[in-house]
Amino acid sequence: MKAIVISAHGGPEVLTVTELPDPVPADGEILIRVKAFGLNHAEAYMRAGAWGEVAAVPGIECAGLVESDPSGRLAAGTTVVAILGGMGRTRNGSYAELVTVPATNVVAVRSQLGWAELAAVPEVYATAWSGLFGNLDLRAGESVLVRGATSALGQAAVNLAVDHGARVLATTRNPAHAALLRDLGAHEVLIDDGRLAARTGAAAPAVDAVLDIVGNSTLRDSLRLVRPRGRVCQIGFLGGFAPVPDFDPITDLPSGVRLSFYASAFVLGTPEFPLTDVPLDAIYAKVEAGTLAAAPARVFHFEDIVEAHRIMENGTALGKMTVTLD
């Protein structure tokens, strides 16, 4: 099969198209013929070596057709999406014509969307849904601030929270991107300099919840943005992996505020965090109906993977990017 491999840790140029033997599914696995896959920042971290030694073939999600299911649960030719399950990290991932995935991380989908559109949904929507409704227990009528909202994950979170009936505040570092977030339904857009809590009045009202995709560099500030007994969920590291220096719960964690963390790459599909908890069928139906704006911002061909990673890293796509194999 044709696959993209990490030839060495480094920049986008280390991604190389090559030939590998076709994988064979073991018990409890499903072999998928990949039709398209989404691009994720996690794959850039793995490629660069930020997560240590990883699998040769990156890719943590895909859309495609069942090639073989030893259990017989899914018939050959069934349209499926696959998310995580060690793909790209502990096992070869979806940047390939064929991939084996734990059955717990494969879902059959009923949708008329094209392959590029199908592949734009799974990872970001499953992660955003888990953070908003699993960790934060967001309810209709509550207010939530999505920090890092112009990222693909952030846009998915804004979409889901607005659809759920929440009042959504969204942040961006670039004023030129405010219109994009308003078009997604954000009720208010804040220009984020990392010190939102220092502002007063309507510019930084106390919210019920914060979904922080920027991560450690803004965590202290996010904890000060919620009301008493509010909730904060850290779900990304757009601001880098450097730890929060000298974090002290006595001074940095307001009394009653609940702080949680969600790492989809490590837990989604496990017994404690089953993929079946995420209503992917309902999400796809809303994408088809136009209720959720989940179309990919850019679509690339398989051979253009280096350019796709360059665009992902410089942040100019302003949304989810996908790669097709047809």
CATH of the domain at 140: 3.90.180.10
DSSP 22: P
261 and 149 in one domain?
yes
CA 250 distance to own-chain centroid: 32
Full domain range(s) for residue 193: 127-265
Instruction: Please compute the mean of the pLDDT values over residues 138-161 and round it to a whole number.
Output: 97
Total of domains in the chain: 2
pLDDT at 200: 47
Sign of CA dihedral 49, 55, 58, 61: negative
Residue with tokens 């929507």: 125
pLDDT at 315: 87
- Final residue of a structural domain among 265, 285, 300: 265
**pLDDT reading at 201 higher than 80:** no
Q: Work out the percent of the chain whose per-residue pLDDT is above 70.
A: 98
Between 226 and 240, the higher pLDDT residue:
226
Burial class (CB in 10 A: 0-12, 13-18, 19+), 194: middle
pLDDT at 205: 56
pLDDT at 150: 96
Instruction: Please compute the mean of the pLDDT values over residues 141-170 and round it to a whole number.
Output: 97
* Cα–Cα distance for residue pair 161/139, rounded to 1 Å: 9
229 and 137 in one domain?
yes
At 206, the pLDDT band (50, 70, 90 cuts) reads: confident
**pLDDT reading at 14 higher than 70:** yes
104 and 30 in one domain?
yes
250 and 182 in one domain?
yes
Of 95, 121, 96, 97, the C-alpha closest to 107 is 121
Tell me the per-residue pLDDT of 77-136, one tens digit each, with 9 for 90 and over: 999 999 999 999 999 999 999 999 999 999 999 999 999 999 999 999 999 999 999 999
Q: Answer yes or no: are the C-beta atoms of 123 and 93 closer than 8 Å.
A: no
Instruction: Please compute the mean of the pLDDT values over residues 64-74 and round it to a whole number.
Output: 97
17 and 108 in one domain?
yes
Mean pLDDT, the chain, integer: 95
- Final residue of a structural domain among 233, 250, 265: 265
Question: 254-258 long-range CB contacts below 8 Å, 24 or more apart?
Answer: 254/223, 254/224, 254/226, 254/228, 255/228, 256/228, 256/229, 257/223, 257/226, 257/228, 257/229, 257/230, 257/231, 257/232, 258/229, 258/230, 258/231, 258/232
Tell me the per-residue pLDDT of 165-186, one tens digit each, with 9 for 90 and over: 999 999 999 999 999 999 999 9
* Cα–Cα distance for residue pair 122/160, rounded to 1 Å: 13
Task: Output the furthest CA–CA distance in the chain (Å, rounded).
Answer: 61
247 and 139 in one domain?
yes
208 and 134 in one domain?
yes
102 and 11 in one domain?
yes
**pLDDT reading at 198 higher than 90:** no
Quick one: tokens of 275? 């993929």
* Cα–Cα distance for residue pair 102/82, rounded to 1 Å: 9
166 and 85 in one domain?
no
Tell me the per-residue pLDDT of 265-304, one tens digit each, with 9 for 90 and over: 899 999 999 999 999 999 999 999 999 999 999 999 999 9
pLDDT at 192: 95
282 and 182 in one domain?
no
* Cα–Cα distance for residue pair 317/120, rounded to 1 Å: 13
Of 156, 113, 123, the C-alpha closest to 284 is 113
Q: Work out the percent of the chain whose per-residue pLDDT is above 90.
A: 94
- Final residue of a structural domain among 249, 265, 281: 265
pLDDT at 204: 52
99 and 136 in one domain?
no
279 and 214 in one domain?
no
**pLDDT reading at 199 higher than 90:** no
**pLDDT reading at 139 higher than 50:** yes
